[in-house]
Amino acid sequence: MDSMKYLAAGLTLQYDPTQCRGCGRCVEVCPQGVFELHQENQQPLAVIVRKEWCMECGACVKNCETQAIQVKTGVGCATALFYSLRTGKPPCC
């Protein structure tokens, strides 16, 4: 098996298609293939095709010029969370 899915409950990915300019950067940068570029009324538009694969890395948010995408980013790392719980500082591993 080359790829795996994780728990999708609580995913914070949010996308507003009305803000999309169709630049395609989200498709280019997403390492889990969440987005695809489709044609809507002869205009390119980003579409979420597999939301549950999102790993909340934030690459799409970072590269979306119109801020159409929001995600609460952070590393999916239990060690970082334990550190944060222990020290009260932000998660770090």
Dist. CA 53–CA 25, nearest whole Å? 18
Q: How far is the CB of 92 from another protein (least distance, A)?
A: 9
Q: Which amino acid is at 5?
A: K
Tell me: does residue 22 bind another protein (CB under 8 A). no
Q: What is the DSSP letter of 66?
A: T
Residue span 23-42 as binding mask against another protein, x where in contact by CB under 8 A, dash where not: --x--xxxxxx---------
Dist. CA 3–CA 32, nearest whole Å? 9
Using CB under 8 A, list all residues that contact another protein: 1-12, 25, 28-33, 53-59, 62-63, 65, 72-82, 85, 91, 93
